Structure formats: C-alpha cells, structure tokens
Structure 1
Amino acid sequence: MKINNNYIMRMLFSYLPILCMTIGVLIFIFFAIINQFNVRNALQANHLTAEYITNMVDSSLKNISLDTQKMIGTGGSLEPFLETPSDKTLDFEASNALSQLMVRYGLIDSVYLYRAQDGKVLDQSNLRPLDQFADQAFVRGVLDQAYTGVWSSPRLKENLVQHSASKVRVTSLGFKVPRDTGSLGYLIVNVKIASLHSFIGEMIDRTITDAQLYDAKGNSFFETGQTPATRSRLSADVVSDYTGWTYRISIKGGQLLDFLFRGSTMWVLFGISAIVLAIGSMFYVTRRHYKPIESILHRIERFSIPIKAAESKGKGNEFAFIDQAIERLITKNMTFQEQQQEHMVIRRQQFLQILLKGEYKEDPSAWEQEWQHFGLSSGHFIVALLELDHYVQFGLKYSPGDQSLFKFIVSSVAVETAEQNGLKVVVEWIAKNQLVILLISKESVGLEHRILHLSEQIRSWVEGHLDFTVTIGIGTPADDEASIARSYEDAEAAVSRKVSVGVNQIIDSIEVTGKSNGEWFEYLEIIRTIVRQLRMLESGWQNELKRLFHEMTVQRLGKDDVNRLMHYFIFHLEYELDAALPEAMKSWQQEGKSRLIAAAEQLDTLGQLEQDFVVTLVQLSEHIETFSQSRRHNALMREIRDYVSEHFMDPNLSLTLLSDRFQISPKYLSQLFKESIGQNFSEFLIGLRIDYAKRLLRETDMTVQYISEMMGYANPTSFIRVFKKMVGLSPGQYRESLLIDRTPNE
C-alpha cells in the first residue's frame, strides 16, 4: 500500500506563521525605535503618581503626628494621666483618648503611653508595668534617644494575643513628654505596614503599576530584607521631605519595555539575521522532524491491516493514518476500563444486597470469596440507613450530574468520619435516596453508641455544609452475618418513621421496635429532661432519674431494651456536654463515660444500675459546677450583657456608666468583658452598632449619613471607615451586594 505522503508539505507550510511572526517582531522593533518618546511619557506619569502618593501618605502621617502632639501638649487629654498618680478614672480617660485616636486614623495599629513616674505602660485596654509589656524592648530603646518625633524604619512589633506572642511589621512615631526631657513619659504610635500597603494600593491600579517604599537606609517596607533594586528607565523615585522615605512607582514588566524601547542599529542587524536563520532552519527542522514519523508509519503498516485497507481508498494521509490507529487503541483501553469499573460497582452492590437480605448461605464458598475480596472480617455488626430528605425536591433542584456529585460527597464524608473515629465501615448507595452504613467491630461493647455518634457527625456535617438534610435510622446490633439482615430491617423501619417523627435527625430503632410510640417517647423525654437539668445544675435531675428507673421497673423492660435506653442516655449526655460545656468533656471522656458504659454492659439488676448511675452522675455534676464557677461573675456578666444589648444606641453608654450602675470598677469590668465575651467593651459595643446598621441597610432606605448620625458618628467618613473595617465592605457596597443577591422569588 502506498500512502499519500503529504504531511511533510503540511509541516513545511505550518512554519510560515513563524516567518510572519518574525517579520512582526521586526516591525515592532522598528516602531519601538521611532517612539522613544513613550519612555519619557511613562516616566512623567510615574513621577506624578509617586508625588501624589507621597503627598497623600505624608499628609496622613502629619495629621497623626499633629493630633498626637496636641494630646501630649500642655492642656492635652493625656497630661493629667502623666502628671498625677494612678487613678482609674484618669486611666480610663487616657485609654479612651488613645482609642479615639485609633478610630480617627485607620492606619494606626496600636498606641501606647509610657508613664515615667511609675514605669507603667497604658494601651487601649490595660495598664501594666513595662516589664510585662510585650513591646518593652522598643520602649526601652526609644527612651534613650536624644531626638524624637521621627517616623522609624520598618520594624517587628511584639504583640501578646491570647497569651501567645506574635509579631507585626510597623513604623513607629514617638514623642517625649515634655519634648525636651521626657521626664513625664513617652507616647508611641505604631502604623501597620500592611495598612500603608493597602492605603497606597487604593491609589494605583496594581494590575499594571507596582509601588515600593524604602526608608532612608534603603530598607524595603513591603518586602522584608529587600533593598532598592536598580530602577529602570520607566520607574520614578520621589523622596519625601517629611519622612525621608523613597517612593518608587514603576510599570509591571517595565524592565522588558525599557529593554525594547532602547532602539539601535543592533535591532536592525538582529532582524536581518533572524529572517535568514528562520528560512534556513525551517527547511532543516522540517526534514529532521519528519524522520520519526516515517518510522512510526512503517511500524503501524505492519500491525494495522484494517486501517491500511481503509487508507488504501485514498481518503486519508499519514497523519490521519496515525490518528486512527491511536484512537482505536485508546477507545479499546477506555472501554475496557469502564467495563471493569462498572463490573466492580455492580459486584459490590450485589454483594451488599445479598448481605442485607441474608441470602449468602445459598453459596457459602462464593460468599467467602466476596467477603475476602472486599477486605471484610467477621465480628459484630450494626446497620445505619441514611436517607435524603425531600428527595423529590432534591431531584427537581439538581441535575443528574450534581445529584451524583452530592451523593459521592455524602458517602465520602461517611467514610472519612468513620476513619477519624477509628471505625471500620462499608458504605454503599443501595437506592437513589438511601445509603447503607455497615459498622463492623471486633467488640460488641458500645456498638450502638458508636454508630449513634458517627451518624450524628454525618448528619450535622451535611446540615452545615450542604443545601439539603438527611435522616438516619439506626438498626439493632448483630453478632453474626446472619443477623445483619435483621439489623437492616430495623434501620429501615426506623428511618421510615421520619414521616411522623420529622426529618434531619437520628432515629434509633428503640423508638420504633417492640414498644408503642407513647411508651418509648416517654422514656426518651425523661432522658432529655435529666440531661438538660444535669447540664444546667438544676436540683430535680435526681428525681427524674429515679422516675426513669421506676418506669422501667414497672414496665418490666428486658435487658436489651434497658441497654439501648442507657446507651441513648450516654450519647445524648455527651452531645449536650460537648455543645454547652466543652471544658468538661475531658473529665467526662476519662471517667464518667467509661463508667456509665461499663455499668450498662454489666447490667444485672435495675437497682444496681441506678446506684452506679447516681454515683457517676453526682461526680459529673460536681465537675460541671466547678467549671461553671470558674467562669467568674457569670450571672453579673449576663445582666451587663443584656443591658448593653438593650441600650447600645445610647451615646452616653460607656464603661464608666456601667461601672456606676453595677458597682464595679471600669478596669475590672473591662477585664471581665475580655474573659467572658472574648472582646473588650468598645469592640462589643461597636459590633452591636454595626449589626444594627447592617439591619437598617437591609430593611430600610435610610441614607448612610442618617444611619451614621444614629450610630453616634458626627463624621460619616469615620462611620464608613469603621463599617468597612468590621464588615469588609463600605455601607454602600454592602447595600448593593444585598440587591444583587436578591432573586425574583424573594
């Protein structure tokens, strides 16, 4: 067979675009040589931008410096604090003045005041000795400086956040008080380098412009350890008369443009050489690259008889010949892999269906092979059946591809959650809306408790991360393979009760097996009441516990029923403790839980079981009471928090007002806020006001200025700055985002 060898011509002509590109490059170089004035225009634009940024940054830093000098000058707000002995009122007023300075200038990271007479440092929330202050090394250093009032080079400031040290890059401005001697103290203002970077970034387009800042020694503000690089012809440097810093503005990729704009006769010679080289190499490379193709064609001709027969009709060339051979090979390989994958899925589904139906005994040898094939072993089993809630709406809302993706996510979450808990499970979708979770364990102790805990983790994850919910039915424990079918039937019966019980929850088979609805519901309600009263340290939990055991005695419940109820009791108690009092979980896991499980598993008489439960739960209540008492002033802080939540719009609301009302010092009250809420008073109050402002922006048409006045801000700009710092968007942007997200159905 003779193949039309026209591929060599196609390769030859495919190189023509390279020639066109070469000519285009030469034309570009020609125009680059002619248009040298572009360099001057770019340089002028960069210079103007650098001057503008310099003026804006210097203006902000000067304003900070002027306001700081007013505060420490004669008659300033900080003078009483420095000149008089420590007084809580003066401490609060000084701290409030520092906080107001930070609110006025968003660039400020922190402000603190050193008082010489007692060697203490005051920041926005606390007054502490210098030895206990995180940034004490810098304070000691500046005390020895002869001249102050100059912005420092970038430095790392020590912070102490939640008893752990951290560092942040800042530039600092310090003033002695008084300016000549510093005998009263020292005020330090720290401006965050990241804030400077963001402030400069708002004045330029970072996609095309690069801005760098260097101090007088050449240290980079934005790139740690970097010194000024040799600037290109398209960059502009402006040195600030105020700070002595160097502002460098350049175009991204400017070095390449600078290189291209340097026109000379060298480019002309280079262009001619490029044309000659392109034409000569085009023929050489074409011929050289065609040799491997000839070799491939010869090999295919020996083994692809069907393809050669088709090509003999003259309908293809050598490239089509190779393409058909490779396509045929890939198609066969993909078909084989798909068949293998489908076979494995079907085989696994059939295996599980037979297991759940209890039909494996018909062919024991084949069953044993399947059992070993999937890496399973004998032991104790329990089945949980997960069912998607509102499946009709689920099918209408999502495409088949999305449905498959969500089902894969749910099954993956089940497997990963089991692995995290050290459990071995078999997970498989047996229907469009039902997922079987088969838990396999070598130990029967606590089997039902483990499947309850695993199911709750899966249910809560789906509720928190996906747009739909699931209901999980729990079967009864099975001691051998033959009992798995019964466990599955119980789980299926349990999950079917979601029609009356409700969706998005765990339904244990004890709620539907062997007893009437009212009887089991009464037991479960008593258990929930006991757990709630125990967690809240109410005195009636022991009476409720006695009533539970009395009811079980009167009804003459069997050992299995009592065991299931006790495991539900343990599961619900652990769930409530983990949600409401996580600090008590360690003692519960180490002592209480193991004792209750052992008592339930070693059940002999209800009297002995009740006695074991009472002893263990009394000890647990003592631990809960200890942890609750360790949270100081819980009731008082709850009352204060409610009062602030009710009067947060009062412009006179402050730590001083709360101190007078609740008879507690401002300093200690501020400390309690930090311990109980995790925020200081000002942060908590600002958070309430911002949340209310967001509500007004969502539900009303009030202007930003009117809302700003309602929040107590005389200047709307300050309100906008605080709102953007807390929310990440300006008030206008926040309202616009709500309009964009609102759909017609809403």
Structure 2
Amino acid sequence: MLKNHSWFYRLVTTYLPIVYLLVFVLFFVFFMTINKQSQAQTVSANEAFTQFSMLQLNSILGNIDQNVNAATVNNKEFNQYMFQLHDLDANPYLLRSKVADLFRQVQAGFPFVKSIYFYRNIDMTVLGTEMYLPLAEFGDREFVQEQLKQPLPNIWTNIRTYKVLPSQSIDVQVVSLVKKIPLQTEPKGILIVNIDVSSLASWLQDISSNSISSVTLVDQAGQLIGQSTVKANKDILNLKFEETGWTFKSGIKESYHYGIFSELYYSWIIIGVVMVLIASAVIIYLSKRYARPIDASMSRITDYLNRRQPGGELNLVVDAAVDKIIDFADRYQSESNLNLPYRQKFYFQELLTGDRPISQDELIEEMHNFGFSCHWHSFNTAKLEIDKMSDFTENYSTRDQVLLKFVLSNVFKETAEQYGIGIWSEWISADEMSILFGADGELSMANISTICESMRVWVESNLAFTVTIGVGEKTERSEDISGSYEQAVKAVQYRSALGNNRVIHYEVITRQTETELFDILQLIRSIVQLYKSGNDEWYGQFDFLFKAINRGLHTRDELKNLLYYMTFTFTRELSEFPSEYTELWRVEALNPISQAIDRFETMEDLKNIVLERLRTVFELWKQLRQSKTQRLLIHDLKAYIDTNYANSELSLQLLAEQFSVSKNYVSSLFKEEMGENFIDYLTALRIFHSKRLLEDTDTSIQDIAGLVGYEHYFSFNRAFKKLTGFPPSEFRKKHGT
C-alpha cells in the first residue's frame, strides 16, 4: 500500500519551521544592517548635494567668464581702447566712459561680481567700473604686477584682499578671474574680474539651509571661502573643482540623525512578532485551503495505483511532470538563442567603450558563451568606416547594404585567420564597423597593418565604394581595450585631412605645432585683406593656405574650427561694405560655405567648394564695382596709389590735387568702393611690399622703411606690428630666405 499522509500535514510540517527560522534570521540581519543602510543613503545624498553645489558654482563662474568674453572680445569700443585704435582727434574720455559702462553692464548681470578692471600694457593704466588710474597709484598694483609674470592666459585666484586706492583702510576679500587678452596674439593687457567672497559665502549658506549636508568651500591654499550655517560632525567627502583648484568639503550636519529606525527599535520588535504570528496563521489557512484539492487528487491517484499496481510508487506522476519541465526548458533555450546576437552586440559595445571594467577571465568566459573558442592574451582594435556614405545608401538598396556589410565582416575574418589572428567584429552603426583583434600569444602590429591594408585593397578592387580604417595601439590587458579603441576612433577622424580609402595608424600621427597654427591664422587674415581690396593675389594665397593645412594633421573638428574662423574673419572684415556687397556675400558665399563645412568628408572636396563660392562673389563684386559711375576714377586712384605708395608725401590732399577733385570726395569714394579708408589701404599696401623685401632681400629694415614710404623707422615698426602681430625683425627671422 502507498503511504498516504495528507498534503496539508506535509505543507505545514515542512514550511512552517522554515518560515520561523527565516523570519528570525531576517529580523536579525535587518537590525544589523538597517542603520548601515540609512547611513549609506545619507552619505549618498550628501555626495549628490555636494556635486550639485559644485556644478552650480561651475555654472555661475563659467557664465561670468563667458559673458565677460562675449562683452569684450567682439566689442568695438573695447578693442579700440585695448589696441589704441581711435583717431587722434577722437575724445579718449568718451571712449573710456563707454568701456567703463560696458564693465558695469556685465557687473549688473552678476551679483557676485565686486568689480571689473582692465590693465593696458602700452601705457600702464588701469580702467575699471569705478576708476581710471596709472598703475603706480592703483591699490591693487602688486596683484597686477604679479599676474604680468604669470604665463597662464586664464586663471582663478585664491582669496586675496582688494582695494582701489592704497590709502583705503578697508580691504575687501575677493577671488579673481584673470584673463590675458587678446588670446590669439600677443597680450595687450589683463582683464580682472573680482568676485565678492562674502557673496559666495551667502550663496553657499542659502543652498545648504534646507539640506542635510554641511558644505565648506576652500581655495587652493586652504583658505575658507564659505561654509554652511550648521557645521558637520566630520568631513566625509572632498571634491576638487578642476577649473579653479578650489575644494568642496562636506559632511552631515550635527543636528541630523540617521532615520527613525534606531529610535523605534522595540516597536519594530513588537511589529515583527505580530507579523510572525500573522504569517503562521496565514500559512496554516492557505495550506489547508490549497491542500484540499491536492489531497483529493492524490487520494484518487493513490487509489487508482493501488488497484492497478499494489505497492507501487508515484513515478508515473513524477515522470509526466519532468517531461513537461524538459519541454518548457527546450522552448526557453530556443528563445534565448534568438536573443543571443543582441546580447553579443551589447557586450561588445560595453567592452569597447569601457562602460565597466571587464577582466580577462570574464571576457574569455563570455566569448565562449558567444561561440568564440579562444584564450586571447593580446589585443588590438580598429574602426572601419564606409567612405561617402550618402553615395553608398543611394546606390544600394537596404537589402544589398545588409548583404555587403555581411561580406565585409566575413572577408575581414578570413583575412585575419590567414595570419593566425582572431577577430570579433560588429556593425555599430549604418557606416561604422568596430573590430577587436586577439591572439593567444604576442600580437604583431605588422600583421595587423597587413590585414587592414589587404581589406582596404580588396574593397577598392571588388566593390564600387571604398573604406577608411583607423587602427589603435595593442594592449596586453582587457581593461585597456577601451583606450585602444578610443585611439582607433581618433585615427579615423584624421581622414578629413589625409583623405578617404586609407589605413590610418594612431601611433604614426604627428600633430601640428602651435607656431604653424599661428601662421595659418595669419595667412587667413592676409587672404581676407587681399580679397577685400579686390587684389587677385588672394587666389595664390588661398592655394597656399590649403597646402599649409594639409601639411599638418587635423581631426575633422579641428578643420571645421579653422574654416569657421575663416568665414568669421571674412564676415567681420566685409561688414563695412555697402549692403549690396554684404548681401551677395551672405547669399552666394557664407550660407553655402557653412553648409559645406558641416557636411564635408575630405579637405580636397571642401577646398573646391569654398574656392568656387569665393570666386563667384569676387567676380560679382567686380561687375558691381564696374557698374558704378565712379569706377574709372577709383581705378585711376588705385593705380596711382599702387605706383606711388613709396612716396612719403602721398595723402588724400595730394590725390585731390592730382585728380582735380575735393579731398572729402576722394575719401568717401575710396571708402565706398574699397570698403576701407585711404589710410588703412595705403598702410596695408606698404606693409605688403615691405614683407616681400624682408623675405627676399637682405636690405636693412631702416632702408626698407624708406623704400615703402615711411620717413621714420619707428612709424614703420609700429604699423608693421599692428598689422602682422610682431615687429619686422621677428618676421624676417621666421620668413626670410
């Protein structure tokens, strides 16, 4: 006979003791860990608040810095004051008043700003919101003199004292933003923005008043900038503010307690006992309720088996249940296999981007799960991009694109296997494939290079498109794979400068020097001046510019910044032209060139578009100028100036006498047709010819000054430095043959 204990009896005697034991263990663990959890949550909240405070301060200081830049760099009055560009008969007091008003406008927008002043190198004077003084009479003189010795162009200082006059008895504590300007050329002075430390302290107290955290802010020297009203028991977090070097120290306020759990300890015990009793009652009730149909079914099965096979077991029932479980497991495995490619791609991206550290053992185990039989101990990465993706999508249907990408993956794999190198590749976007190389032993960079070059040649020879491949450096640690892939991504970015259809190795990329970049910016300004004056020599300078850019290696973003600087310089210099000229520039050149900069793939493509647009506007301007009734006169005027620029007595009065017109008429006609006044044009022409003499001859600088129309060397030296950014002697050293 089969033993027939009721299922109610079995359920109650099996699970009730387990429930009791489990409940008591959970209560024990609960009271041991709940306080720690509360502390951890509090510490986490403190860290989040501290980071929020640091980000908010970063936003405040960054906004001050950006607004100061925006208000000064492109401001006409400020640049006139900084470079002393105002006419001799202009009122310098009015100019200083406008600059001071500009500083006050910036100060009004930021309550933290105590004062703003600018020290000008050329005459050693200080102009601020509240004074205009010689440096020798300025209360902050020592600080200015100290900053003049510093090499950094943009810094935040520690706490210091500030006063306008040395005789003042009250010192104000401030932290200062120091900016040497202009940034692109030799500094002409220092712009200093003073932030009131008491305002920062008040701000810190306000934002922490309703928080559990107590925050203290100190500068690099450890001096207190501000702190919360309620102090902390102890500092539990220090965060350094990278932009300023200041440090946020935070902890939990002394008046805060870690939750109510410790205070309600005995209440929780009572609640726990009550819950155990309730759980016992519920288990007994449910066991009895749900065991009733089971007992009835098992009683029928037992009676049946006793009649059919007395003394038998319940194996048939168990076997049937196991068969159903196996069938369910098979279906689950089938669904899991369908999801495998998605899990594999996600893990691959996690590995390359370094979202989390992946150890060697974990990597090998996961690769085995994905079907890779390998024990790689040396790695390298590459990134393949399809060139001219717009043509690729236009020439192939979606189905063909998928097929071609599958072919590329297989060819890459077969090529690598010929050299005994394993490969794992995934298409991470429509035109980008990421590749991980691996080997059980030493990974040869020569083989990697050969594999990538073979792949490039195969695509070029067999398909109607090309690819560019960037290769990172090899690594022995799986944790460093993300760094190698970052190098591969950066290498591909250089295809804008180097061109499509090539293999680019990160390790052979050399960067352009700062001096070469400065020469490129100077060349851009020279092209703009020639273009602006209607001189055809800008064509040669334009071609030389792109040759200079191609000599250096630039990422796509760097190239875009250079070209945006060129369009900005053109737009700024041409803004003084009549409206019909500027409208032609905007419609025919500026808009198409800006679109091309955003979409270009190679520098050669971009050069052709920019040149074509500039040539179009240049020719339209020629037609526009020739349609003017004064074209003959301005042509004769320009020819006379170009021939007689070396005459030191050449002036508007001389031109008026020579062509029998009034001096004012010559001046206005020249401004309208040439887009600049007579003096600026004559100066640029003389400096242009002097640069050729400096480059191609060994004539002394004093003699060159006379040859181009300057009676005094000092006038020539000042004009040359103003236009080029450095004196004639330095120009000859850099560019002389």
Common topology (TM > 0.5): no
With the length of structure 1 as denominator, give the TM-score of the two structures.
Answer: 0.29
With the length of structure 2 as denominator, give the TM-score of the two structures.
Answer: 0.29
